[in-house]
Amino acid sequence: MIARALPPWIEHQLQSLLMQRGHAWLLQGPSGLGQYTLALALARAWLCDHPSPQGACGRCASCHAIDVRTHADLCVLMPETQMMALDWPLSEKAQAEIDDKKRKPSKEIRVEAMRDAVEFSQRTNARGKGKVMLVFPAEQMNQFTASALLKTLEEPPGDIKFILASESAHQLLPTIRSRCIGHTMLWPDAVQATAWLEKSGMAVQESAFFLNAAGGRPEDAFKYQQAGLTAKEWSGFPQAMARGNVAYVKDWTPVQLLDALQKLCHDVLVHHFSAPCRFFAAADLPQHSHLGAITQWSKALLLSARTVEHPFNSGLMQEALVGQAQSALNSRQ
């Protein structure tokens, strides 16, 4: 996989971070702002044979090794589902277990992977540029994985740097956060973001629409298009939920559905108080829903977020979520 050019707001942050000294960084902020992109760019720059203040050269053997996911001095820790989606290789043992149908790919960072990473941190680096451990999304570590990382952060062996990238940094152990240099991701302005989306292949008429639907987060907007969502489908979503139309979202994952419902709930609430909507057009929203019912629905969605990644029956979860939405959106004073 060959690296694409960095978005301009990521380039600016990269140059700033490369001027800092330390052994551990925490890149934090909501989804869609480029935490993983920035983390990997930092790793590339630190390991590059011919780096510049702007970052990695993109042409040396080190950069090529990262592009093809074989760099001996870079350890990437992710949930196995994301490792596979981003073409990072799993350990031989993990890959064999999944291939043999002994278990499914994990949706959290397993403690076994962290133990391998600790062993990696204690080895001599292969190319003379030190080593890098990249953890994303860091909040997907369970308590055992986090404890194993904490011990290594407290007493880092040799020349190694850590990059933790998180979309929910508040979920991390305070002791982990305190041992990292924190960096809050910058939000791009709308002009930068839409220009990047159009350069990435999104139609001009859709870039501003999806950027608004994603709350101004360009990578989330890009994922909407990659998932096959259209502007018409997004605009029709509120009324479909008010009708209880489960078939409308039959191809959505529970995570995608919950995200859209939380955005819908937010806009219905703010519209009730005559504030501007953030994700949907006001004309697309169901009108006159009972404020108390919408507030209770908001709390129910927060509870659902705790278990949405669990291996429940997705069809039944969709029906339950859409049923909740229909009941709340059709409540009356």
Each residue's pLDDT tens digit, 88-110: 999 999 999 999 999 999 989 99
29 and 133 both lie in a single domain: yes
Query: What's the confidence (pLDDT) of residue 1?
Result: 47
Is 200 a domain residue? Answer: no
Which tops the pLDDT comparison, 72 or 288?
A: 72
101 and 250 both lie in a single domain: no
Query: What's the confidence (pLDDT) of residue 13?
Result: 96
Q: What is the pLDDT of residues 189-229, one digit of tens each?
A: 999 999 999 988 888 888 989 999 999 999 999 988 888 88
Query: What's the confidence (pLDDT) of residue 238?
Result: 96
Total of domains in the chain: 2
Is 20 a domain residue? Answer: yes
29 and 164 both lie in a single domain: yes
154 and 13 both lie in a single domain: yes
Residue 333 has pLDDT above 70, yes or no: no
Q: What is the pLDDT of residues 282-324, one digit of tens each?
A: 999 998 889 999 999 999 999 998 888 776 788 898 999 999 9
Query: What's the confidence (pLDDT) of residue 41?
Result: 97
235 and 178 both lie in a single domain: no
Last residue of a domain, one of 184, 204, 220: 184
Selection from 327, 231, 245 nearest residue 280 by Cα: 231
Is 207 a domain residue? Answer: no
What is each CA distance from 301 to 24, 76, 117, 279, 328, in whole angstroms?
34, 32, 35, 17, 12
Selection from 323, 239, 329 nearest residue 280 by Cα: 239
Is 178 a domain residue? Answer: yes
Q: By residue range, what is the domain housing residue 51?
A: 8-184
Is 81 a domain residue? Answer: yes
Is 196 a domain residue? Answer: no
Query: What's the confidence (pLDDT) of residue 38?
Result: 97
170 and 295 both lie in a single domain: no
Could you identify the residue written with the tokens 């994985």? 145
| % pLDDT > 90, the chain | 76
318 and 169 both lie in a single domain: no
Is 69 a domain residue? Answer: yes
**pLDDT classification of 281: cutoffs 50, 70, 90:** very high
Average pLDDT for 220-245? 91
Residue 34 has pLDDT above 70, yes or no: yes
28 and 113 both lie in a single domain: yes
Last residue of a domain, one of 123, 157, 184: 184
The CATH number assigned to the domain holding 96 equals: 3.40.50.300
Average pLDDT, the chain: 91
Tokens of 275: 């504030």
Average pLDDT for 38-66? 95
Is 283 a domain residue? Answer: yes
Query: What's the confidence (pLDDT) of residue 154?
Result: 86
Query: What's the confidence (pLDDT) of residue 259?
Result: 94
Average pLDDT for 40-48? 97
